[in-house]
Amino acid sequence: ERLAGGGPQPGAPLERPKTDAERGLIAAALWANAYLGSFCPLTDELVAQFVEAACPRAFDAGEVVMQQGDLHLGALYVVQLGGFDVIGRGRRGTMWQLSGSWEARVGPGGSFGELELLYSAPCAATVTAAEPSRAWVI
């Protein structure tokens, strides 16, 4: 149902159209994410709910998605197109007990942001779009 102004009723699920390929990409990334499974047992129903909740977002090359140390994060990103550079400096956090610097590239089918979302932890690294990119945000 919709309100007179065209918006959905409060509490009604939002429509987020996805192709079967997009649904498959998001679900595969969720199943492959080791941190999600260790936090709570994933079920087909839970993954389907996450897939439905995902919203598309485009990023310009060089756009900073999250900054190391930020505290106001609360999203998991599943990469559909392009790639994101993940760069951390200094201690990586008490969960890992590692120090030094690290870099990674997350491409299509990969995900990031789950630790900050699950544990309400400060962002462990700075994530920047390496090229024009698209991700599904949960």
In a domain, 4, yes or no: no
Which residues form the domain of 112?
Answer: 20-137
CA distances from 30 to 20, 35, 91 (A): 15, 9, 26
Q: Is 84 left (phi over 0), alpha (psi -120 to 50) or beta?
A: beta
Q: Vertex 109, ends 21 and 42: CA angle to 5°? A: 85
DSSP 14: P
Model pLDDT, residue 21: 98
34-63 per-position pLDDT tens digit: 888 888 889 999 999 999 999 999 999 999
The CATH number linked to 81 is 2.60.120.10
pTM score, two decimals? Answer: 0.80
In a domain, 95, yes or no: yes
pLDDT of residue 2: 41
| 32 within a domain of the structure (yes/no) | yes
In-domain check, residue 1:
no
Cα atoms in the Cβ-side hemisphere of radius 13 Å centred on 76: 22
- The label of the residue with tokens 């649904």 reads 23
pLDDT score for 13: 53
Please report whether residue 132 resides in a domain: yes
The residue type found at 115 is L
* Domain tally, the chain: 1
- Asked if residues 92 and 9 have their Cβ atoms less than 8 Å apart, the reply is no
- In the three-class reduction of DSSP (H, G, I as helix; E, B as strand; rest coil), residue 35 is classed as helix
